[in-house]
Amino acid sequence: MPPEAAGEGAHFRALESLYARAPVNGLFPSTLEIVEAGFARIRFEVEESLFHAAGAAHGTLYFKMMDDAAFYACNSMVSDRFLLTTAFNLNFTRPLKSGPVTAEGRWASGKRRVLVGDARLIDARGEEAARGTGTFMRSHIPLSSLDGYRSG
């Protein structure tokens, strides 16, 4: 494996560690996998405790998982700084009921100061439940300064 690929893989695993250690994920159990530069996947279960009054997943869950998937796809392209979400546009296409769901995020454009990522939610039947686009800006926070970021 070329040294740059080893460094890239270490960065991906460190981002996965950062995700796993985020306190908010105690409320939304899920697993992040950074598949390759610019592509992230989050697997999670929709449970009835996350339903709105009409019996389907609340939009909070859609946003959280899609924002995270697009964010980590973009942050996989940036190895020195933590990104911040500056905007996210979300389109709901079908209600999510109980069961496994996958959020897929892909880097779409930008590399310097602002990055754009696309995300979608796929239900257990392979149907798309939502689609969105996020804008992420480099912060002044070094990834290496964050407790959960473990690159070694």
Q: Could you tell me the residue ranges of all domains in the chain?
A: 3-145
110 alpha carbon, distance to own chain's centre: 17
Q: What tokens appear for 102 in the block? A: 């996958």
Residue 13, both tokens = 């695993």
pLDDT at position 151, please?
Answer: 57
Report residue 3's pLDDT band, with 50, 70 and 90 as the boundaries: very low
Please report, for residues 32, 75, 91, the alpha-carbon distance to residue 124 in angstroms, rounded to integers and kept in the order given.
17, 27, 19
CATH no., domain 3-145: 3.10.129.10
pLDDT at 2: 42
Q: Is the pLDDT of residue 33 over 50?
A: yes
Q: Which residues lie below 8 Å from residue 36, measured CB to CB, with a gap of 6+?
A: 76
The pLDDT tens digits of the residues spanning 60-78 come to 999 999 999 999 999 999 9
Under 8 Å between Cβ of 19 and 35: no
pLDDT tens, residue by residue, 90-128: 999 999 999 999 999 999 999 989 999 999 999 999 999
- Closest by CA position to 100, among listed 29, 149, 151: 29
Q: How far is C-alpha 66 from the geometric centre of its chain's CA atoms? A: 6
pTM of the model: 0.94
Instruction: List the one residue out of 51, 46, 49 whose CA is nearest residue 122.
Output: 46
- The pLDDT, as a whole number, for residue 1 is 43
